[in-house]
Amino acid sequence: MNNTEAKEITFNDLIKGETPVLVDFYADWCGPCRMMPPILQEVKNRFGDDLQIIKIDTEKNPDVAIHYNVRGIPNMILFHKGDVLWQQAGVIQAPQLETIIRQKLEEHEAA
């Protein structure tokens, strides 16, 4: 199969999937945003395949940022099955972020 035949997974496909998705909205010029990659890597290590983490550059994807009301960066949004479970701007340390993600997923499953 060549690249033109491969199904491209869109952002909407990704956030509507069974696997929860944490989206990090950032910009290259943003100092606090540069603190997030090691934090996100630690969170990814804790969740493994049970969580997808993607980064979206707000400069290159302003429509997505506007759609989700991203006003400050870094900005984390947790999606599961198309629903926004949680959103917060600012740097969040890995233990706190892990706790929030687990809590929001539990609440979503119980609903």
Q: What is the dihedral of CA 93, 68, 47, 103, to 10 degrees?
A: 80
Catalytically active residues, by annotation? 30, 33
CA–CA gap between residue 99 and residue 42 (Å, rounded): 13
3-class DSSP assignment, residue 68: coil
